[in-house]
Amino acid sequence: MDLLSFDFLLFLPVLTILYFAVPKKCQWWVLLAGSLYFYGYTGWNNLIYIFITAGSSYLAARGIEALQLQHKKELAEKKASLDRAGRTALKEKYQRRTRLVLTLTLLLNFGLLSYFKYLHFVIAQINRIIAAFGSTPFEDTLKIIAPLGISFFTFQTMGYVVDVYWKKVPAEKNFFRMLLFTSFFPQVTQGPISVWSDLSAELFKEHEFTYRNFSWGAMRMIWGFFKKVALANALSAYFKHLSGHYLDYTGISALLGAFLYSVQIYADFSGYMDIVCGFCEILDIRLTENFMRPYFSKSVAEYWRRWHISLGNWFKTYLYYPIATAKWNQNIGRFAKKHFGKTVGSTVPASISLVVVWFTTGLWHGASWGYIVWGGLNGMFIIFSLWMEPVYDGWKQKLKINEASTLWRAFQIIRTFTLLTLIKILPELGGLRKGLGLWRQIFTNHVIPTSFDMLIPRASRDYVEFTVLCIGTLLLLIADLIGRKKPARQWFCEHIPYLLRIVLLAALIIITVWIGSPYLKSAGGFMYADF
Amino acid sequence: MQTFKKTLRTIILFVLIFTLLTIFLFEIFFRSEVHVYQDIRERAELAGTLDTLITGASYSKRALIPDEMDKILGTSTYNLSASEMTMQGRYQLLYEEITRNPVKTVYLEMSMHSLRLKPYIDTREGDLYVIPRLDTPKKRLQYAFSAFDPLGYGWLYRQILIRAENDIEAYFTGEYTTVNKFQQRGYIPFVGKEEYTKIKKKPKEKYHTKYLIADRYEKNLEYLYKIIDLCNEYGARLVIVSIPVSEYAIAKYTNIQDIHDFYQDIADENGVTYLDFNLWKDKTSFKYMKDKYYQNATHMGNKAAVVFTEQFSLIMKEYFDGRDISDYFYTDYDTLCRDRGYVNAANKDSDAVPE
C-alpha cells in the first residue's frame, strides 16, 4: 500500500480504532493483521518473501538456541568427566553446528536479496568483460522485480538471528510474533532497521491511548506529509530537470540544483520517518529514530552517525566491529604498529573495516558503479580524516583556531554539507558518467548566470511554488535548529496557542495538497523504497 | 473518557478549521470572475428572459454566438457550453436555466467524443468547470459528490486551490477584475493566437488512418436521456447538433459514420431532431468550413464562428418554419468524402489505428 494514497489514509484510522478497541493483550495481533494486509495489498504473492524471511529466521533462531542449550546441558552433564581439551572440543562441536545454521540462514536470505537486487548488475558486468574479449554477451531477459522493502526486512531479521547467535537475545518462540517483527508495516518498506530487543519490547507491551501521544503523533505525521508531498516531491522536478539539462547551466546553477537535491532527499526520507514514527506514536509505539539533524554535522563521519542512524548502527554492529576485532585484522594492526608506528597501527584495522563497510553500504543503496563509488568516497573521506586527525590538530594549533567558535563550526557544517552534496548526486543522475559530468560542470563552468531562470533551474516556471519551497526549506532548517535543544513539537506546543496550532496545521495540509499533489505521480514513491 | 473527549474535541475543531479555511479559499475562486467560465452573474441577470439555450462542450462554445442567432431567429439565447463539458455538466446547467426561464428551444451539442469521456477520469476537468457555475454552496457540493469519486476529491481540491491562487496573484498584480470581459452570453471567441496556421495536414493524406474507440459510458448515456426527459418535461424543443470539425478531422476516422448513426437512432427513438453539421454541404456563401478557419482540428476561430452562426441560424429558421432542409446535408460520410475528394484508396480501413 502506498503511504501517499487515499487507501492508506483510510487504513490508518480503521487500524487505530481496532487497535485500541481490542483487549490490550491482542493489540499486536491487530498490528500483524494490518501489516500483512498492508504488505499484501499490492499483491498477495509478495507475502511469500516475508514468510520465507520470517520463517527461516524463526527456525534458525530456535535451532541456534536449541543447540546452545544442548551444549550447556551436555557440558553440565559431562562437566566432571571432561578436561579442558574435552570442553574446548565440545564447545567447538556446537559452535560448528550453530555457525552452520547461522551461515545457511544468512546465505538463504542474503542470497535472495542479492538475487533480487544484484543479478542484473552481475550479468551486466560479466557481459562487459565478455564483450571486452570480443565474444557475444549473454542476453539478460530476466524480469526481476524486487519485493518491496526486502533490503530493510532482510537486514532487520538477520540482525535478530545474529543477536540470538551471540546470545544477546533469546529466540522468539511464537512464530507470529516473529512475523510481525519482520512485516511491521510502518517500517517494512523503508525502515528504520530495528533490533529485536528494542522493537519487540515496543510491539508486545500493552498500549494505552493518550491525548499527548495522539496530538504529538498527528502533528509529526502532518509535518512528515508536508516534507514528503510538498517539499520532496516538488523539489524532485527541479533535480529531474537539472539532471536532464545540466550542460545548459553554469557551474553555480548546477551546484544550487545539487543543494536542492540534498534538501529533497532529506525531506523525502525524514518525511517518511515522521509519517511512520508519528503514526506509531499515536499507537503508543516508539520506533528507532533515523535522523538527528544530519545537515548540521561537522564531519562526514558525524554525518553518518546522524543520517539513516539505524542502517549505520546495523553496519557498525554486524560488520564493522566483527571485522575490526577479528583476529586476522588485529594481527595486521600489530604488524603495522611494529613497522610504521603507533598511529598507523591503531588506524589500520579500523580502516580495513571501514573499506568493507562502505563498499557494502554502497552496494546496499543500489546495484551500480555509481553507488559503489559513492560508498567508496564516503569511506575514503572518513578514513582520510581518521589518518589526518593528528595533522589537522597540529594545523589548528598553529593557526590558533578556536574549535568552539561559531564561525569555525559554521565553516565545518557548510564544508561537510557541500562535500556530502557533491558525493550524494554522483549516482543519482542515472549513471556515474553523468554524475561526473555534473561535477565537471560545477567545477569548470564559471560563467555568471545572466537571469534568475539560469541561476535556479526551472524556478521561473512557478515563482509562487518556488517561494513556498524556499519557505518550506527554511522551516525544515528552523525545526532542526530548534531540535538541538528540545523536540520542535514541544517548542511548537509551548509557544503557539492551542487554537492557532490547529489553524497552522490545517493550513499546512492545504499547502501540502496545493503544492505537492501535482507531483504525486511524476515524483514516484519514496526514494528510499528503491534502496 | 477524558482523553477520548479531548481527542474528539481536537479532531472536530481541526476538521472545522480546515473546512473554514477551505471555504475561505474556495470562495475567493467562486466569487471572482476572472475565469472565462464564471458566468453566474450574467445568467442571473438574464433569468426569466431566455427562450433558447445551447448546452455542450467547447465545440459549441467556440462556434455559436447567441447575439448573432438572436438577430436572425428573434430569440433570446444563452450559450451554456464550456470546455471539456461532460454529459452530466450539460444536464446540470441546462436544468439550472430551464427551471427559471421560459425555454422553447434547446440545442444540445454532441460531438464524436461526448459519450466517450470515461466517468470520474476523463470528466474531471469538465466537471470542475461546472462547479463554480452553480450558484449555491449546496448545489456545488451535491455536484462535486456526484460527479467525482473519492479518488478525484484530492484532485478537485487542488484544482480549486490553484485557481484561488491565480485569483490572489491577479489581485496583487492588479489584473483582478469582477467584470466579465470575455463572454457574450456564454460565447467565448477563440482568439489570441494566429488563425489559419494550426492545421497543415491534408485530409486526403490522413483519410481513414484512425478510428475512434467508440466506448459509450453508461453514465454519459444516462445523462443524455435525462436531458431528453428534461426538455420533454418543460415542453422545450430539443435539437441535437454536431458542430462541424475540420476537414482533416472528418476525413481521418473510419467510423465517424457509426457515431452519427448512433446519435440519429437515439434522436429517432425519442422524437427529437439531430442535425450533423459535419455533413453540411457547400451551398452557402461561406465556402464550407475550410481548415483555415480552425484554431485546431476541432475548434473554430472567431471568424468562422461569426459566419457559421449566421448560416446555422438561417438553416434553423427554415427548419422551424417547416421547410425541408435535408438538401443542405450529405446523406452520409462516404458521400461527403467522395464529393470532397478526401478518399485515398491507398489507405485501408484495416490499417487504421485507434485514437
The more confidently predicted of residues A122 and B196 is A122
B149 close contact with A: CB closer than 8 A: no
pLDDT value of residue B181: 60
A513:B157 CB<8 A: yes
A210:B151 CB<8 A: no
Whether A526 shows a pLDDT value over 70: the answer reads no
Highest mean pLDDT among A458-462, A517-521, B137-141: B137-141
What's the CA gap between A333 and A352, in Å, rounded? 10
pLDDT value of residue A529: 57
Query: What is the rounded average pLDDT of the residues A445-473?
Result: 79
A463 close contact with B: CB closer than 8 A: no
Nearest Cα of chain A lies from the Cα of B3 at a distance, in angstroms, of 5
B169 close contact with A: CB closer than 8 A: yes
Whether B301 shows a pLDDT value over 60: the answer reads yes
* Residue A430 zone, left/alpha/beta (φ > 0; ψ -120 to 50; rest): left
Q: How confident is the model at residue B201 (pLDDT cuts 50, 70, 90)?
A: low
Q: Name the residue with cell 459514420.
A: B257
Whether B13 shows a pLDDT value over 90: the answer reads yes
pLDDT value of residue A236: 86
pLDDT tens per residue across span B24-79 = 888 877 776 555 556 888 898 899 999 999 999 989 988 899 999 999 999 999 99
Secondary structure (3-state) at B227: helix
pLDDT value of residue B151: 75
pLDDT value of residue A509: 92
Highest mean pLDDT among A230-234, A237-241, B30-34, B69-73: B69-73
pLDDT value of residue A399: 83
Q: How confident is the model at residue A530 (pLDDT cuts 50, 70, 90)?
A: low
Share of chain B above pLDDT 90, in %: 45
Prior bond to B119 cis, omega within 30? Answer: no
pLDDT value of residue B197: 46
What average pLDDT does chain B have? 85
pLDDT value of residue A16: 93
Share of chain B above pLDDT 70, in %: 88
Q: Are A307 and A294 in contact (CB under 8 A)?
A: yes
B12 close contact with A: CB closer than 8 A: no
- What does the buried/exposed string (b/e) look like for B44-58 if buried means 16 or more CB atoms within 10 Å of the residue's CB? eebeeebbbbbbbbb
pLDDT value of residue A180: 94
Query: What is the rounded average pLDDT of the residues B143-155?
Result: 87
What's the CA gap between B152 and B130, in Å, rounded? 15
Whether A514 shows a pLDDT value over 50: the answer reads yes
Query: What is the rounded average pLDDT of the residues B280-309?
Result: 67
Chosen for mutation from A12, A514, A515 (greatest number of chain B CBs closer than 10 Å) is A514
A471 close contact with B: CB closer than 8 A: no
Query: What is the rounded average pLDDT of the residues B262-269?
Result: 94
pLDDT tens per residue across span A259-282 = 989 999 999 999 999 999 999 999
pLDDT value of residue A183: 92
Q: What is the DSSP letter of A168?
A: S
pLDDT tens per residue across span A336-379 = 888 888 877 888 888 888 888 889 888 888 878 888 888 888 88
B6 close contact with A: CB closer than 8 A: yes
- Computed over its alpha carbons, how large is the radius of gyration of chain B? 22
A71, A120, A339, A365: which is the annotated catalytic residue?
A365
pLDDT value of residue A63: 94
Secondary structure (3-state) at A235: helix
- E strand intervals along A110-225: none
Give residues 196 to 215 of A whose Cβ lies within 8 Å of B: 209-211, 214-215
CA torsion angle B68 B70 B76 B77 (round to 10) = -40
pLDDT value of residue A181: 94
pLDDT tens per residue across span A164-209 = 999 999 999 999 999 999 999 888 888 789 999 999 999 999 999 9
CA dist B296 → B125, B195, B293 (Å): 19, 9, 9
How is residue B95 written as a grid cell?
436544468
What's the CA gap between A441 and A257, in Å, rounded? 12
The more confidently predicted of residues B18 and B354 is B18
A506:B154 CB<8 A: no
pLDDT value of residue A370: 83
Question: CA A426, A428, A433: angle at the middle one, nearest 5?
Answer: 55
pLDDT value of residue A227: 93
Question: How many CB atoms sit inside 10 A of residue A151's CB?
Answer: 25
Nearest by CB to residue A509, choosing from B7, B18, B155, is B18
Query: What is the rounded average pLDDT of the residues A479-488?
Result: 88
A514:B158 CB<8 A: yes
Question: CA A133, A138, A144: angle at the middle one, nearest 5?
Answer: 140
The more confidently predicted of residues B184 and B253 is B253
CA dist B263 → A326, A425, B126, B245, B258 (Å): 83, 58, 21, 17, 9
Instruction: Output the CATH code of domain B45-113+182-354.
Output: 3.40.50.1110
CA torsion angle B68 B72 B76 B78 (round to 10) = -40
Which residues, 6 or more positions from A207, have their beta carbon under 8 angstroms from its beta carbon?
A19, A20, A24, A27, A283, A284, A285
What's the CA gap between B301 and B294, in Å, rounded? 5
B354 close contact with A: CB closer than 8 A: no
- Please report residues of A whose CB lies closer than 8 A to that of B125: none
- Sheet harboring B52-55: ordered strands across? B77-79, B52-55, B105-109, B237-242, B273-276
pLDDT value of residue B75: 95
pLDDT tens per residue across span A150-168 = 889 999 999 999 999 999 9
Nearest by CB to residue A514, choosing from B6, B150, B161, is B161
Span of A94-98, A507-511, B337-341 with lowest mean pLDDT: B337-341
Query: What is the rounded average pLDDT of the residues A382-406?
Result: 84
pLDDT tens per residue across span A1-22 = 777 887 888 899 999 999 999 9
Whether B88 shows a pLDDT value over 60: the answer reads yes
Chosen for mutation from B29, B156, B165 (greatest number of chain A CBs closer than 10 Å) is B165
Signed CA dihedral, A249, A253, A255, A261: sign only: negative
Which residues, 6 or more positions from B39, have their beta carbon under 8 angstroms from its beta carbon?
B133, B180, B183, B186
Query: What is the rounded average pLDDT of the residues B93-115?
Result: 95
CA A25 to chain centre: 31
- Please report residues of B whose CB lies closer than 8 A to that of A510: 18, 21-22, 25, 161
How is residue B259 written as a grid cell?
457515431
How is residue B275 written as a grid cell?
442535425
Q: How confident is the model at residue A44 (pLDDT cuts 50, 70, 90)?
A: confident
Whether A390 shows a pLDDT value over 50: the answer reads yes
Nearest by CB to residue B151, choosing from A6, A502, A513, is A6
Whether B235 shows a pLDDT value over 60: the answer reads yes
CA dist A111 → A53, A289, B50 (Å): 11, 28, 76
Active site residue A365: yes
Nearest by CB to residue A464, choosing from B13, B22, B169, is B169
What average pLDDT does chain A have? 87
The more confidently predicted of residues A426 and B323 is B323
B161 close contact with A: CB closer than 8 A: yes
Give the CA count within 13 Å in the CB-facing half-sphere of A242: 32
Report the predicted TM-score, pTM, of the whole model to 2 decimal places.
0.79
